[in-house]
Amino acid sequence: MSQPRDDLAPNEEPLFNIGAVSRMTDIAETTLRVWERRYEFPNAARTAGGHRLYSQQEVQRLQWVKQRVDEGMQISQAIRALIRAEQDDNPLHGPFASPLLQRREGDHDPLVMFQQRLIDALLQHDADLADQVLAEALAVFPLEFLILDVIGPTFHELGEGWSAGRIDVATEHFATNHLRHQLLVWMRTVPPAYQVNPVVMACAPGELHEGSLLMLAVLLRRLRWPVIYLGQTMPLSEIASFVNEMDAAVLVFVAMTEAPARALLDWPHWLPEASRAKRPVVGFGGRIFVEQPELAGQIPGVYLGMTLQEGLETLDRMLHEMNPLLH
Q: Pick from 38, 56, 87: which residue ends a domain? A: 87
Strands 281-285 and 250-254 turn out to be parallel
Contact of 114 with 150, CB cutoff 8 Å = yes
Closest C-alpha among 269, 226, 230 to residue 247? 226
Identify the helix (H) or strand (E) that includes residue 33. helix 29-39
Q: Pick from 183, 214, 230: which residue ends a domain? A: 183
CB proximity list for 278: less than 8 A, separation 6 or greater: none
CATH number at residue 46: 1.10.1660.10
Q: In the chain, how many domains are there?
A: 3
For residue range 277-313, list pLDDT tens digits in order.
Answer: 888 999 999 999 999 999 999 999 999 999 998 999 9
The CA–CA distances, whole Å, from 64 to 68, 83, 156, 175, 213 equal 6, 11, 30, 30, 27
Closest C-alpha among 283, 269, 270 to residue 244? 270
φ and ψ of 187, to 5 deg: -70, -25
**d(C-alpha 117, C-alpha 174), whole Å:** 16
CATH number at residue 253: 3.40.50.280
CATH number at residue 127: 1.10.1240.10
Q: What is the pLDDT of residue 202?
A: 96
In a domain, 189, yes or no: no
Same domain, 171 and 62: no
In a domain, 216, yes or no: yes
Same domain, 210 and 319: yes
pTM of the model: 0.69
- Name the amino acid, one letter, at 231: G
Same domain, 306 and 234: yes
Identify the helix (H) or strand (E) that includes residue 183. helix 169-188
Same domain, 215 and 320: yes
**d(C-alpha 135, C-alpha 141), whole Å:** 10
Q: What is the pLDDT of residue 96?
A: 38
Q: What is the pLDDT of residue 89?
A: 53
The CA–CA distances, whole Å, from 295 to 253, 276, 287, 289 equal 14, 21, 11, 6
Concatenated DSSP letters for 265-308?
GGHHHH-HHHHHH--SEEEEE-HHHHHSHHHHTTSSSEE--SSH
Domain ranges, residue 131: 107-183
Q: What is the pLDDT of residue 1?
A: 38
Same domain, 215 and 247: yes
Same domain, 212 and 313: yes
Label residue 278 exposed, middle or buried (CB < 10 Å: 0-12, 13-18, 19+): exposed
Same domain, 116 and 227: no
Identify the helix (H) or strand (E) that includes residue 167. none
- Name the amino acid, one letter, at 138: L
In a domain, 304, yes or no: yes
Distance of CA 79 to the CA centre of its chain: 21
In a domain, 138, yes or no: yes
The CA–CA distances, whole Å, from 81 to 3, 110, 139, 194 equal 32, 16, 6, 30
Contact of 107 with 113, CB cutoff 8 Å = yes
Same domain, 236 and 309: yes
In a domain, 261, yes or no: yes
Same domain, 111 and 16: no
The CA–CA distances, whole Å, from 213 to 88, 105, 119, 124, 131 equal 36, 27, 20, 26, 21
Same domain, 168 and 204: no
Q: Pick from 38, 57, 87: which residue ends a domain? A: 87
Same domain, 233 and 313: yes
**d(C-alpha 239, C-alpha 200), whole Å:** 10
The CA–CA distances, whole Å, from 197 to 19, 103, 138, 284 equal 32, 37, 30, 18
Strands 14-17 and 52-55 turn out to be antiparallel
In a domain, 175, yes or no: yes
Same domain, 210 and 296: yes
Contact of 158 with 174, CB cutoff 8 Å = no
In a domain, 133, yes or no: yes
For residue range 256-274, list pLDDT tens digits in order.
Answer: 999 999 999 999 999 998 8
Q: What is the pLDDT of residue 4?
A: 41
**Low-confidence residues in the chain, pLDDT < 50:** 1-10, 90-107
